Structure 1
Amino acid sequence: MAGSSHQMVIFPDFKLKICLFLCLVGIVSALDITSSADSQLNPSFYGLKCPLALLTIKTLVTAAVLKEPRMGASLLRLHFHDCFVQGCDASVLLKDTATFKGEQNAFPNANSLRGFEVIENIKTKLEILCPGVVSCADILAVAARDSVVALGGLGWQVPLGRRDSTTASFSEANSDLPAPFLDLKALIAAFQKKGFTVEEMVALSGGHTIGRGRCVTFRSRIYNESNIDPTYANLMRANCPVTGGDDSLSPLDITSPDFFDSAYYRNLISRKGLFHSDQQLFSGGSTDSKVKDYATNPLLFRSDFAKAMLKMSNLSPLTGTQGQNRKVCSRVN
């Protein structure tokens, strides 16, 4: 009897040790994907200051994407167009005023950036929950992740603690944001300028598996280029005439435009890239093999995309006492 009693005491203890071991494994795994994060940023930054921050962002982003799937791509693009200019500081959200020139009317952004109202709505709710705590830059970073997840992509742990800029750069938005007309060499250079490898550039380009493009950005490709499937070109021409209709929209990924998968890469192999810059990734150059990898291994793409997005979210963040936490994302305090 004593023996069996002794075993009953050890067994729960053994289970506890196993649980602790598995928890440690989980923690180490989580740390692996944040190892490249800026040391001043922390996924738990709002844990005590605003414990409902992440849930609030996720709830509102998911609702916006369910209402309009295209919004997922728009919020992802907002984060990208923010980080590639001055770093991830929410400078892209600042509107022009009589005395201030922001980035929203720069060539890559004018008449195409959207989702501002979703970000402002989130900010308004968070200002009620915990005034002056959650930055607009962090909202952008988390909203991008939650948008990808809402459309079927893989999530990543976003390090937090960014601050908002009081400045913006119209000129840098024009010079540093990769245009849809770039060739492969220029694309590689644009991403290398921000510290990304060629492989990471190909992974981040996969963000075009969701979203829409304006006719004016791909008209030249569908009427003048030879590296394009003829049937696909004719289909795109139906919604994008030779003249007029500049703002007519077509899906970047014709196969599954509202689902975050690797169809974008399969489309490139079939010569169905919408932008010139998209098809450049599969045009007999150095990136062809990586496109094939992602086309045949969707999980590899999702994983590499998440890692590259994590790296991008850590481009030159303002931390500590730098910048400010804007009360309204579209203007400085």
Structure 2
Amino acid sequence: MHFRPSGRLAAPLTCLATSLAVLLSASLYAAEPAHASAKRVRLGSTSDVSRTAWSGPAFTMNGSGGVVPATMTKAINEIRGGTGSLDVVVIAASAPTSGSQTPECDATMGLAGVNSCTTWTLTTRNDGNNSQANTDIRNAEFVYFAGGNQCKYADWKGTSLQNSVKSVVAKGGGSGGGSAGHHINSAIVYDACQGSVTSDEALYDPYDPYITFTTGMFNWPNYANTINDSHFQERDRMGRTMAFVARALEDGLTTNGAAWGVGVNEGGSVFIDKNGKGTVSGADTFVVLGDHRPEVADPDDWLTYYDYKIWRLRPGATYDFKNRPNCGYYLRSIVDGVPDNSLYSGTPVSSC
């Protein structure tokens, strides 16, 4: 017998309270001066690099909030073509509560090939249109989204910031982020705007009110139809990523009838080069493919999905996001919300 996971019976009341809070916040934000909350801290050179051509794009997808030097170094080298230096902008939706106020830039400035690193703390939707922030972003060659709350990042969809970040990638620069910053860089963003869902809750009901998506924020080259997830094994998030993949397929959010979940463990990172080749560093990454509609994906009903294809990628392993492989995966199914075997390990059906 299945029971609904505890702690969610009050979800309708919680959602009502959240909606009221959002309305109240919106009225408060509307009354405040534009850009009043934006804060800028720049490290390194006060002048931007002047250069006409860059060699990217390149991306870093991190399982926790901090910069991973191994993949950040690869991205920097890819973008600058091994010569000269570049400028980095870090975007955060809240300031650290203790310690350095620029932890990502502190780590980045210690790497070769970095001219400057500017941290922008932007806490309201209006801040997405801050003119100086957007100038800094457009003049940069890499934009890193810090950890925090991906719903705040998703709220910048439709602001100048969205197009400014796109312009960095378009000129051969790059983008990346960790934790919430990892989420916002996927094609289909689990935005958590109603709250964070657990694997048990998501497998019980793939239409749980806490499962909400933002689409159309960023669509990076070779990274279509992806849904990122972070802190993956540490917080047992395979089940919810499976539910996200099923929902994306059931709701027609993908372009080719398939969806790929990309779950990165804490301390792990995936560097993706301009040809779509992903290389794992630091800790394991999991790629979860759903290539057909779920057998059962309905509100208030357990998920059933047969034969997810799962790749477990150890540090040093690669995954081709441009020409996605059809080998090297193991199979797992969810039947009435219950996995048929261990989700985080398995014997590959075939080797590559």
The normalised TM-score by structure 1 is 0.26
Between 1 and 2, higher relative CO (CA 8 Å, sep ≥ 6) is seen in: 1
User: As a proportion of its length, which structure holds more strand?
Assistant: 2
Q: Which has the larger radius of gyration?
A: 1
The normalised TM-score by structure 2 is 0.25
